């Protein structure tokens, strides 16, 4: 187990394993996305209250969930880097930030496009909306801090501390709809389960999309981390060897 | 899967009167997802090319 853990922590080993996994992960992500899109957009029924705007949820909910999952991964990787000084963990954290920021943008924009016809407003300073906006600023702050510090190791450490402090925001987003009953409706997901209030005709396309977004993130994360591995290891013997043979 | 709830292509495109909200969501989402997947694939190829070029330069310098 520990040998395996150590091997995975080595950039060279990670590069080899991820190279083998990526084609499968990418194909799976694209396949799931295709099925989920068709299901959500064409084959699922309209909602009796929301009408066809319920289709926005097949993008909005997975994007919002992933915006938080990616943040959790980023903070956990940052923690591993701070405590055990595993370089690869720092790269995983750094690779997660832009994807997470894009998921957050998607959640905000799609929520806005749903809010206009359903609530009558593009934006409201509702607790959950505000907390999600703060999440976007946390991602942007993380990336700005990372790029502002010249030395890679101090940059990684400072950014990891920022990410860990920002974890406070995750339960706030999750429980905001229960703590302050303002505008956003109750929770769609509870832990790993989708609330029983969602009808099966909509639950399964939603689950498919959530799975698709998850696999998609895994693929993008691996690819982005590979790029960072190559950049930080460009002078090492194994990268030179690799470049020569390809 | 269920029956398709739309009677015609026009009905599908109209999205029950919410076309102006539903379609932008799907277009934006697809654009963001495709871009975020394609960009790192290109970046890795570019990095590998750069490293290869630098290696060739170094080897020429040594001769």
Angstroms from B33 CA to nearest CA on chain A: 8
Give CA torsion, residues A94, A100, A105, A106, to 10 deg.
Answer: 140
ipTM of the complex model: 0.90
Q: Is residue B4 part of a domain?
A: no
For range A107-121, the mean pLDDT:
90
For range A209-216, the mean pLDDT:
97
DSSP state of B1: -
Angstroms from A201 CA to nearest CA on chain B: 8
Angstroms from A1 CA to nearest CA on chain B: 30
For range A100-120, the mean pLDDT:
93
The half-sphere exposure of A59 on its side-chain side, counting CA atoms within 13 A, is: 33
How confident is the model at residue A191, as a pLDDT? 47
The answer to whether A93 and A156 have CB atoms below 8 angstroms apart is yes
CA angle A200, A206, A212 (to 5 degrees): 140
Q: Is residue A3 part of a domain?
A: no
Distance CA(A174)–CA(B45), nearest Å, equals 39
Please say if the pLDDT value at position A77 is more than 70: yes
How confident is the model at residue A192, as a pLDDT? 47
CB contact under 8 A, A46 and B55: no
Partner residue facing A227 (CB), from B3, B18, B43: B43
Confidence of residue A168 (pLDDT cuts 50, 70, 90): very high
Q: Is residue A120 part of a domain?
A: yes
Distance CA(A206)–CA(A39), nearest Å, equals 9
Nearest to A62 by CA among A112, A116, A107: A107
For range A189-214, the mean pLDDT:
77
How confident is the model at residue A70, as a pLDDT? 97
**CATH code (residue A136):** 1.20.120
How confident is the model at residue A127, as a pLDDT? 83
Nearest to A176 by CA among A133, A207, A121: A133
Distance CA(A92)–CA(A89), nearest Å, equals 5
Assigned token pair, A184: 């956003």
For range A207-221, the mean pLDDT:
96
Angstroms from B15 CA to nearest CA on chain A: 6
Q: How many domains does chain B have?
A: 1
Q: Which of B18, B19, B43, B59 to mutate to test the interface with A (most CBs of A within 10 A)?
A: B18
Percent of chain A predicted with pLDDT > 90: 62
The answer to whether A41 and B12 have CB atoms below 8 angstroms apart is no
The answer to whether A46 and B5 have CB atoms below 8 angstroms apart is yes
Nearest to A61 by CA among A167, A197, A162, A225: A197
Please give the model's pTM, rounded to 2 decimal places: 0.91
Instruction: Say if A227 is an interface residue toward chain B (CB within 8 Å).
Output: yes
Residues 6+ apart with CB under 8 A from A194: A188, A203, A206, A207
Please say if the pLDDT value at position A187 is more than 90: no
Q: How many CB pairs under 8 A join A and B?
A: 101
Q: Is residue A21 part of a domain?
A: yes
Q: Is residue B39 part of a domain?
A: yes
Partner residue facing A99 (CB), from B28, B36, B43: B36
Give the count of beta carbons closer than 10 Å to the beta carbon of residue A230: 21
Confidence of residue A197 (pLDDT cuts 50, 70, 90): low
The answer to whether B2 and A43 have CB atoms below 8 angstroms apart is yes
pLDDT tens for each residue of B3-61: 788 888 888 888 888 889 999 999 999 999 999 999 999 999 999 999 999 888 888 87
Residue in chain B closest to A106 (alpha carbons) equals B29
How confident is the model at residue A179, as a pLDDT? 73
Please say if the pLDDT value at position A203 is more than 90: no
Q: Is residue B42 part of a domain?
A: yes
Please say if the pLDDT value at position A182 is more than 80: no
Q: Which of A28, A44, A56, A121 to mutate to test the interface with B (most CBs of B within 10 A)?
A: A56
Range of the domain at B30: 25-63
H helices present in chain A, as ranges: 2-9, 11-38, 57-84, 87-119, 127-148, 152-166, 169-179, 200-232, 237-245
Q: Is residue A244 part of a domain?
A: no
Confidence of residue A110 (pLDDT cuts 50, 70, 90): very high
CB contact under 8 A, A51 and B26: no
Residue in chain A closest to B53 (alpha carbons) equals A243
Q: How many domains does chain A have?
A: 1
Q: Which residues of B touch A105 (CB under 8 A)?
A: 32
Q: Is residue B14 part of a domain?
A: no
Range of the domain at A25: 13-234
């Amino acid at each position: 187990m520990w040998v395996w853990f150590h091997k995975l922590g080595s950039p060279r080993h990670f590069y080899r394993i991820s190279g083998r996994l990526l084609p499968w992960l990418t194909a799976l992500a694209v396949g799931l996305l295709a099925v989920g899109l068709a299901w959500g957009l064409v084959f699922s029924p309209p909602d009796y209250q929301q009408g066809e705007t319920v289709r926005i949820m097949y993008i909005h909910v997975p994007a919002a969930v992933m915006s938080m999952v990616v943040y959790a991964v980023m903070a956990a990787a940052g923690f591993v880097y701070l405590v055990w000084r595993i370089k690869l963990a720092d790269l995983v954290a750094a690779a997660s930030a832009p994807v997470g920021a894009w998921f957050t943008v998607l959640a905000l924009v799609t929520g806005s496009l749903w809010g206009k016809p359903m609530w009558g407003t593009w934006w409201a300073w509702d607790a959950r909306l505000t907390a999600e906006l703060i999440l976007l600023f946390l991602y942007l702050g993380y990336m700005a801090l990372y790029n502002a510090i010249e030395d890679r190791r101090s940059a990684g450490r400072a950014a990891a501390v920022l990410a860990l402090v920002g974890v406070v925001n995750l339960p706030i987003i999750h429980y905001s709809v229960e703590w302050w009953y303002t505008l956003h409706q109750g929770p769609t997901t509870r832990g790993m389960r989708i609330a029983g209030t969602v009808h099966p005709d909509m639950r399964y396309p939603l689950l498919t999309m959530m799975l698709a977004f998850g696999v998609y993130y895994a693929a993008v994360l691996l690819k982005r981390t590979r790029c960072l591995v190559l950049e930080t290891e460009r002078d090492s013997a194994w990268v030179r060897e690799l470049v020569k043979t390809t | 899967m269920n029956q398709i709830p739309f009677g015609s292509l026009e009905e599908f495109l109209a999205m029950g009167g919410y076309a102006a909200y539903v379609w932008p969501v799907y277009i934006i989402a697809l654009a963001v997802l495709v871009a975020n997947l394609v960009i790192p694939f290109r970046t890795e190829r570019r990095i590998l090319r750069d490293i290869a070029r630098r290696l060739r330069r170094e080897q020429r310098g040594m001769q």
